[in-house]
Amino acid sequence: MTPTVPLAHDVDGVGPLLVAIHGMTEDRHFWNRVPLASYFRTVRSTCAATEARRGWHRTIR
């Protein structure tokens, strides 16, 4: 069985996979202003500390 971790995230676009990681004072929405999905399939996540404070989470497998 593969363990799962609740993680707030968005997936958009087509093409090569790109995982976008934000800085400590931001969340996954930081990347909304950068047109990454025009060129890549992007996974934008919010770090565990930020999502715990804001109550965001989804399970990815």
pLDDT tens, residue by residue, 6-57: 677 789 899 999 988 887 777 788 888 888 888 999 888 877 655 555 555 4
Domain hosting residue 53, numbered range: 5-60
Number of domains in the chain: 1
Say what the pTM is. 0.60
How many Cα neighbours within 13 Å face the side chain of 53? 8
d(CA 57, CA 59): 7
What pLDDT, on a 0 to 100 scale, did the predictor assign at position 41? 93
Residue type, 52: A
Pair of tokens at residue 47: 């770090």
61 pLDDT more than 80:
no
Q: Read off the pLDDT band of 60 (50, 70, 90).
A: very low
